[in-house]
């Protein structure tokens, strides 16, 4: 079977919302292969504690690739305790220049409760505008929904949950089985 014949892994939606001194990262649980849902309860949002500092990370893309990146991020954070921005930039540099890492197909949203970043394989470490970041197949739907709610009285968690519900209603590769982690405040 040629690579172009393989149906490919699809789907997830991960959102990060920073509001009211809290940062929430939420992710759905659906893993799809082509038109088939393989699993509906995957955990794509995780807490990391490198060097005693709390980090929350969510990933979209290949699970094995994402875990490789999370391990690398933890190692970078152990080398630069409490410096998420620096560790993220170091990871992005390695990801862009290392021949093994270049093949990894995933994206990350990470936070330490103060900063919120999207890390990509193109070497990007992006701090989102409007305190909302979203990745994955339903990311744009969740992003638009969350941005529309940011001026409301809703908490960061309420914004994240409602944005994910909207994305799940629109994106066939996103479900309503959420993992939600909050940090900060």
| Catalytic member of 12, 13, 111, 174 | 12
Contacts for 76 with CB less than 8 Å, ≥ 6 apart:
86, 87, 88, 90, 91
Q: What angle do CA 146, 148, 153 make, to 5 degrees?
A: 85
52: its two tokens: 């005693």
Cβ–Cβ under 8 Å, residues 36 and 15? no
* 12 is annotated as an active-site residue: yes
Could you list the active site residues? Answer: 12
């Amino acid at each position: 079977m040629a690579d172009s014949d393989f149906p490919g892994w699809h789907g997830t939606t991960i959102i990060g919302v920073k509001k009211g001194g809290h940062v929430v990262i939420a992710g759905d649980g659906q893993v799809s292969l082509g038109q088939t849902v393989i699993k509906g309860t995957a955990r794509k949002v995780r807490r990391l504690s490198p060097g005693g500092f709390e980090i929350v990370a969510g990933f979209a893309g290949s699970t094995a690739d994402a875990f490789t990146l999370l391990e690398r991020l933890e190692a970078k954070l152990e080398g630069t305790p409490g410096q998420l921005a620096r560790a993220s930039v170091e990871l992005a540099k390695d990801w862009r220049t290392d021949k093994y890492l270049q093949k990894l197909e995933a994206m990350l949203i990470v936070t330490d409760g103060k900063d919120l970043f999207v890390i990509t394989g193109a070497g990007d470490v992006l701090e989102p505008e409007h305190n909302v970041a979203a990745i994955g197949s339903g990311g744009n739907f969740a992003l638009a929904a969350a941005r529309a709610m940011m001026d409301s009285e809703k908490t960061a968690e309420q914004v994240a949950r409602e944005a994910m519900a909207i994305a799940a209603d629109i994106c066939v590769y996103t479900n309503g089985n959420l993992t939600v982690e909050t940090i900060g405040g």
